[in-house]
Structure 1
């Protein structure tokens, strides 16, 4: 009996202020992953890293960080965040 492996190519990743990254979950579609990232605190679909939210600024004037990213699993690269 052979088990089929479900491919969940979209990942939600939390990135802390120091740049450490933690995979939160994997999803079948980008829309599912983006929805979860937004629910968790704002997602960035292109995975370019933590950047400020559009138009939002912290009390000290710096842009707030987006801590949840959406990235596609890289082929052959494993599932490391």
Structure 2
């Protein structure tokens, strides 16, 4: 997916204790996404935040 001409292939996903997963945001670089995930992780142990690349962006490489 993209916003105009900007491709945002990196996702930050929140996973709760029951295994439910929610997309928190999309980012242009893995570094940017990881920084957001790290910041959210530091707020408390209630959820796990992970960085993933979108499946669509993997297919276009």
Quickly name the TM-score band, shorter chain normalised: 0.7 to 0.9
Q: Which has the higher helix share?
A: 2
Structure 1, unaligned runs of 5 or more: 43-63, 77-81
Instruction: Tell me which structure has the larger Cα radius of gyration.
Output: 1
Q: TM-score scaled to structure 2, two decimals?
A: 0.73
Aligned to 1:28: 28
> Counterpart of 1:6?
6
The Cα of 1:11 is off from its aligned counterpart by 0.3
Name the TM-score, length of structure 1 as normaliser: 0.56
CA deviations 1:19-51 (Å, max 9, x no partner) are: 000000000000000000000006xxxxxxxxx
More deviation, 7-16/65-74 = 65-74
Unpaired runs of 5+ residues, structure 2, are none
Say what the alpha-carbon RMSD is for the aligned residues: 2.1
Size of the aligned set, in residue pairs, is 52
Which of these residues, 51, 55, 60, is aligned with residue 74 of structure 1?
55
